[in-house]
Amino acid sequence: MNITLILLIIVPLVTAFLIPFVDVFSNKARKILVAFSTLLEFSIGIFVIISNYSSITNNSFFLKYYLGNWIPPIGITLSMDMLSLFFSTLISFSLLFIVIYSIGFIGHHEGKYYVLLFLIWAAMHGIVLTGDIFNLDVFLELMLITSAPLVAFKRDRNGTEAAIKYMFYGTIGGLFVFIGVVLVYFNLGTLNFADIAQNFNSLNIFSKKLISVFFLLGIFIKMGVFPFHFWLSKAHSACPSSISALLSGVIVKVYIYVFIRLFWNVFGYNILQQTGLNKIIFVVALISTVMGHIMALNENDVKRMLAYSTIANLGMIIAVLVINTKLALLAGLLHVLSHLLMKVSLFTTTGYILQFTPGHKLEDLKGVAYKNVLIFTGFTIVAGGMIGLPPMIGFASKWYILKAFIKSGYNWGSVITIGGSIFAFVYYIRYIISGFKKLSLGPPERFRLILSVFYRERVVTDIAFIFVIAVIVVGVFYKVALGPLEGAINVIQNPSLYIEGILGG
Amino acid sequence: MLELFLENFTINSFNLIFVATGIIITGAALLSTRDYRYAHRKLFYLCNLIYVVSFTMIIMTNNWIIFLIGWELVTVTTFLMLLWGSNKIARIYLIIQFIGSNFLLYVVLMIMNAGYSTIGPISEFNLQILLIIGVGLKSAIIGLHFWLPIVHSRAPSPVSAILSGWVVKLGFIILLKTVTSGNILLFYAGIAMVIYASLEAIFETDYKVLLAYSTISQLGFVAIGIGSGNIYAYWGSVLHIIVHGLAKTSLFLSSGYWIKKTKSRTIYAFKNGWFVDRKNSILTIIGLTVLAGFPIFAGYNSKYLIKYAAGGGLFLNYVFHGLSILTYLYVFRFLKWGIFNIDKTEKEFSKDEVNESNSFLSISIPLFLIVLITFISNSLLGINLANYHLLSGLFKNLIYIVVALSILKITDWIYVKEKPVPSMDIFLIRIKNWNNVIKGKPKVETIEVDMENQIYNILIKFAKFVYTYLPKKIQSQLLFIPIAILLLLIFIL
């Protein structure tokens, strides 16, 4: 029993409910509350790592908490192993900075904004920590319905349309997940992950296949893999940049966590192998990569381009994960880390830049680099990371992905990865050239604040720099990250560890 | 930390000599940049510093990953240096090198997958070929050289010196470590490089393009040495990499001063050079003599060693004589039309805005080192050759000179009309003209769209083409979901 796990969910949840009440009294109190809760949540995450440092280093890390003290398989169990810890740390780290970024970036309706943001935070931690399949579904839906209003946060035609589309796809995906949950409950009479994992093999083959197909479809629709990707670029580009960073950088990774947890630990990778679904996932993911790159090339809008690049990278992560060798899992998780850092920093820098342009289009970006050369250089550096130039983290993850593809003989994967980075080179450099183009009109006359005024400009630039520096520093010392990742892979490859952790002892 | 360093880096005399040469070349180029007006000079020095670190990584490491990181860093830093010249050329350089390094990434993974975990001799012929193609784009192996004359001639002169003097050599240094027992394809590619590039240089009027083609031809000699598998030729390649690097640096730096004075790049503009700028003329002549391999200078030593590659083959021996004559041809043609084209009526070079306080030092330091290497080349390489047959070498070279001069005399010193500065657009114009010839239209001389945008446009057109086939309405987009579930259900049944 470990009380910190429930605190990780409760702190943002309680903050979200407190904000409207505090808001009635004063704005300042709300700001203090937001900052306080953010730091508290982050420090709880740090506390978990520090207090369990010895067990993390020797790979025996496992925390659990029985809600209402109901012993599994009856009650809801919260648990944290190396895989959850990895994703939880990523969420805490990026959310800490995204919230601070929002303090400088969002100038209006802040009360509502932070309520929704903290609810998303609670939902994400819930997804990462829960050990109950119905609870997982509840948190997935919570994440959907709290992020949809944020997509429409700008209250314009584009945003509303994108949010409706997002809700449409999200609810359909959620429906499939729900059908999967119902099927699991009817067949096994249990909702606990560990219990399902223990008894899943006793089911007849048809039920097993049906359950995995429903979950797979649900997750893929919510994630935005190729034939279901139409909502993604709109949703990720219509919202304020802080939310784009959250959606494109973090929420997508949470779905990857769900994918890994369900198909490696709960249902077991065998079911994918037996049905041949892994081949289908591999092909679909690679098609998703190709289409993402092509669509990004076709796009003239910088935020939509970044969103399409997310589709492409997501496809790459899924393709490399389903190879299911140790190296491939390592490559996949490393790319989760690297894509998170790079996408968040790209969206944070872009968010700053777009405040000075009349629109999001390629032509609108002309000469914008001279407004703040450092920020645009940061954008350029991270774009270099996306195409895989050292010393950015993108090089390390690209290297491991290529290695995993070639070692397991999936040459198509490696060809697409390399071709994709050449495509990415072309679509990033167009914006960079446009940004550095010298204009006859001097920058001060041309640029004016068009959208909301920065609440605190300094905060926005500083957070953007922090992410850019993180991309470089983690890229140089990426070997440090490999140790924890191997612990996570140990969990992924041995479902019995998870079952024993929850049911036994 | 020290163990980690020793694990991944090999320190031997070879690597140290290579690194030292690279640093001297960079230093000479940097010394020369002091005579030019450069904005953000500190940033330029920073780029150079990172560049030095990254080529040191490439040369010293025995770890493929560190090699690749260094390789990409060299690409990035040289791209940044090129930005001090023309943006467009820099971008073209970056995109070409990026494609090349991606291919190299793939090749290195194949090599590692075949069991070569550290950089060392590779015995499989196929892997050798792949590696040669992989480094070929940066090192201008024939067929992949198309960008070199354009980029090297349009870069600022100090950057050209760095690119042509050292960056192109890095690929060959890796080949020296991996292709130790010879590769017949590399050997013949080397011969083709020498012949092709010398011929191009002979008909060239732009001095920097001439030097760039000369770089390709001298790289051909290095390729011959590595490809032959003969141990002496192999040592010759090592020596030639160093000597040519130094000589070409000196020549490119002096070309910068020539261009600054004459305000023109064509060799015809350099006339009266001998009278006007004696210092620069002498240094240029020494540099060209080193390239041609005239005795006393180390260029002779390296070419002497490389000629062991012919083995006992009579035909190959004659081919090698021919290759030497080709080098003399473009050297003498340049001297005739450039420095020794005496025309007393012409007024002096303009002297305004010419600041060249560092010119003598930056040009002569590499040449001085070459003279030094001449005397210590045996101990530098650690081989035992009694002598380099200097007298017979002198005799042979005099014959080459006589043959070259008589060919030039017969052909009236090969006067060529002034050519425009080359750019990537010529490839586009060629394609357009082939198309026009097929369609029966007249040929065109110029074209509006530049190469870079054309490549982007092709890719974007392709993307737009794909985009037209995707559903636009939400109703049809949502249709994918029932289709997918139907297909999956059928599949699992």
3-class secondary structure, A130: strand
User: Looking at beta carbons, which residues of chain A come within 8 Å of B87?
Assistant: 436
Cβ-defined contact of B73 to A433 (cutoff 8 Å): no
Rounded average pLDDT over A139-157: 92
Q: Cα separation of A16 and A12, whole Å?
A: 6
**Is the CB of A475 inside 8 Å of chain B's CB atoms?**
no
Interface test with B, best of A228, A293, A298 (most B CBs within 10 A): A298
**Is the CB of A477 inside 8 Å of chain B's CB atoms?**
no
Q: Is-contact B98 A422, C-beta < 8 A?
A: yes
Q: Is-contact B60 B9, C-beta < 8 A?
A: yes
**Is the CB of A271 inside 8 Å of chain B's CB atoms?**
no
Q: Which string of b and e fits B424-439 if b means at least 16 CB within 10 Å?
A: bbeebbeeebeeeeee
Higher-pLDDT residue of A105 and B382 is: A105
Give pairs for A444-451: CB < 8 Å, separation 24+. A446/A367, A447/A356, A447/A357, A447/A368, A447/A371, A448/A356, A449/A355, A449/A356, A450/A355, A450/A356, A450/A357, A450/A358, A451/A354, A451/A355
How close does chain A come to B461, measured CA to CA in Å?
Answer: 8
User: Looking at beta carbons, which residues of chain A come within 8 Å of B66?
Assistant: none
Per the structure, the complete domain to which residue A365 belongs is given by 3-503
Q: Cα separation of A381 and A471, whole Å?
A: 9
Q: Cα separation of A78 and A414, whole Å?
A: 38
Structure tokens at B197: 């590039």
How close does chain B come to A367, measured CA to CA in Å?
Answer: 15
Return the residue matching tokens 């997501």.
A314
Structure confidence at residue A452 (pLDDT): 44
User: Looking at beta carbons, which residues of chain B come within 8 Å of A423?
Assistant: 459
Q: Cα separation of B162 and B171, whole Å?
A: 14
Structure tokens at A202: 């006793």
Neighbours of A389 (CB within 10 A): 24
Higher-pLDDT residue of B229 and A465 is: A465
Whether the predicted pLDDT of A442 surpasses 80: no
Q: Cα separation of A312 and A418, whole Å?
A: 12
pLDDT, tens digit, for every residue of A234-256? 999 899 999 999 999 999 999 99
Rounded average pLDDT over A336-361: 91
State the pLDDT confidence band at A451, using cuts at 50, 70 and 90.
Answer: very low
| Nearest alpha-carbon partner for A443 in A351, A346, A365 | A365
Residues forming beta bridges with residue A63, ordered by sequence position: A80
Angle between helices A3-25 and A27-51 (to 10 degrees): 170
Judge residue B336's burial from the number of C-beta atoms within 10 Å of its C-beta, 0-12 exposed, 13-18 middle, 19 or more buried: middle
Q: Cα separation of A207 and A203, whole Å?
A: 7
Cβ-defined contact of B103 to A418 (cutoff 8 Å): yes
Q: What's the number of CA atoms in the CB half-sphere (13 Å) around residue A29?
A: 10
Give the least confident one: A91-105, A332-346, A389-403, A448-462. A448-462
What DSSP designation does B308 have?
G
Cβ-defined contact of B485 to A217 (cutoff 8 Å): yes
Q: Cα separation of A76 and A67, whole Å?
A: 6
Interface test with A, best of B8, B455, B460 (most A CBs within 10 A): B460
User: Looking at beta carbons, which residues of chain A come within 8 Å of B484?
Assistant: 217, 227-228
Cβ-defined contact of A165 to B68 (cutoff 8 Å): no
Cβ-defined contact of B91 to A209 (cutoff 8 Å): no
Structurally, how many domains does chain A consist of?
1
Phi then psi dihedrals of residue B445, to 5 deg: -100, -35
Structure tokens at A173: 């995906």
H helices of A299-391, in order, are 302-321, 326-354, 373-386
Q: Cα separation of B104 and B295, whole Å?
A: 38
Residues forming beta bridges with residue A66, ordered by sequence position: A77
Average pLDDT of every residue of chain A: 90
Which distant-in-sequence residues (6+ apart) come within 8 Å of B134 by Cβ? Answer: B100, B103, B104, B106, B107, B108
Indicate the residue of B73, B76, B492 with minimum beta-carbon distance to A209. Answer: B492
How close does chain A come to B5, measured CA to CA in Å?
Answer: 15
Cβ-defined contact of B72 to A429 (cutoff 8 Å): no
Q: Is-contact B460 A297, C-beta < 8 A?
A: yes
How close does chain A come to B69, measured CA to CA in Å?
Answer: 6
Q: Cα separation of B79 and B58, whole Å?
A: 17
How close does chain A come to B271, measured CA to CA in Å?
Answer: 39
Q: Cα separation of B113 and A409, whole Å?
A: 10
Whether the predicted pLDDT of A70 surpasses 50: yes
Rounded average pLDDT over A56-66: 88
User: Looking at beta carbons, which residues of chain B come within 8 Å of A294?
Assistant: 462-463, 466-467
3-class secondary structure, A382: helix
Q: Where are the domains of chain B?
A: 2-410, 425-492
Structure tokens at A379: 């954008």
H/E stretch holding A100 reads helix A82-105
Which distant-in-sequence residues (6+ apart) come within 8 Å of B164 by Cβ? Answer: B152, B211, B212, B215, B248, B249, B252
Q: How many residues does chain A have?
A: 505
State the pLDDT confidence band at A453, using cuts at 50, 70 and 90.
Answer: low
Structure tokens at B447: 């074209």
Phi then psi dihedrals of residue B64, to 5 deg: -65, -35
What DSSP designation does A108 have?
S
Is the backbone of residue B124 left (phi > 0), alpha (psi -120 to 50) or beta? beta
3-class secondary structure, B155: coil
User: Looking at beta carbons, which residues of chain B come within 8 Å of A390?
Assistant: 68-69, 72-73
| Nearest alpha-carbon partner for A360 in A253, A435, A412, A284 | A435
Phi then psi dihedrals of residue B209, to 5 deg: -65, -40
Q: Cα separation of A486 and A333, whole Å?
A: 10
Whether the predicted pLDDT of A443 surpasses 60: no
- Amino acid B354 reads V
State the pLDDT confidence band at A455, using cuts at 50, 70 and 90.
Answer: low
Return the residue matching tokens 């969990």.
A491
Q: Between β-strands A77-80 and A63-66, what pairing exists: parallel, antiparallel or unpaired?
A: antiparallel
Per-residue pLDDT of chain B (493 residues; tens, 9 = 90+): 788 888 888 888 889 999 999 999 999 999 999 888 888 899 999 999 999 999 999 999 999 999 999 999 999 999 999 998 888 889 889 989 999 999 999 999 999 999 898 999 999 999 999 999 999 988 889 889 989 999 988 899 999 999 999 999 999 999 999 998 888 999 999 999 999 999 999 999 999 999 999 999 999 999 999 998 888 899 999 999 999 999 999 999 999 988 888 888 888 888 888 888 888 899 999 999 999 988 888 889 899 888 888 777 788 889 999 999 999 999 999 998 888 887 766 656 555 556 677 888 889 999 999 999 888 888 888 777 767 888 889 999 999 999 999 999 999 888 888 888 888 777 888 888 888 888 888 877 777 667 778 888 888 999 999 999 988 888 888 889 999 989 988 888 7
Whether the predicted pLDDT of A448 surpasses 60: no
Q: How far is CA A158 from CA A165, A234, A358, B426, in A?
A: 11, 8, 16, 45
Structure tokens at A352: 């700053």
Which distant-in-sequence residues (6+ apart) come within 8 Å of A86 by Cβ? Answer: A333, A484, A485, A488
Cβ-defined contact of B485 to A228 (cutoff 8 Å): no
Q: Cα separation of A391 and A374, whole Å?
A: 18
Alpha-carbon torsion (A355, A451, A27, A42), positive or negative: negative
Q: How far is CA B254 from CA A41, B38, B269, B277, B280, in A?
A: 64, 18, 15, 11, 7
Indicate the residue of B72, B94, B463 with minimum beta-carbon distance to A294. Answer: B463
Q: Which string of b and e fits B119-128 if b means at least 16 CB within 10 Å?
A: beebeeeebb
pLDDT, tens digit, for every residue of A351-370? 998 888 888 888 888 888 88
| Widest Cα–Cα separation across chain A | 73
| Nearest alpha-carbon partner for A346 in A308, A293, A316 | A308
**B residues 110-169 closer than 8 Å to A (CB):** 110, 112-113
Q: Is-contact B281 B273, C-beta < 8 A?
A: yes
Q: Cα separation of A410 and A319, whole Å?
A: 10
Interface test with B, best of A304, A399, A428 (most B CBs within 10 A): A399
Q: Tell me the percentage of chain A whose pLDDT exceeds 90.
A: 67
Structure tokens at B452: 């870079």
How close does chain A come to B268, measured CA to CA in Å?
Answer: 36
Q: Cα separation of A230 and A304, whole Å?
A: 11
Q: Is-contact A482 A132, C-beta < 8 A?
A: no
Indicate the residue of A210, A275, A406 with minimum beta-carbon distance to B109. Answer: A406
Q: Is-contact A42 A470, C-beta < 8 A?
A: no
Structure tokens at B304: 């002497």
H/E stretch holding A243 reads helix A241-245
Q: How far is CA A458 from CA A114, A380, A427, in A?
A: 20, 20, 29
State the pLDDT confidence band at A37, using cuts at 50, 70 and 90.
Answer: very high
| Nearest alpha-carbon partner for A311 in A405, A414, A228, A212 | A228
3-class secondary structure, A80: strand
| Nearest alpha-carbon partner for A28 in A95, A111, A97 | A111
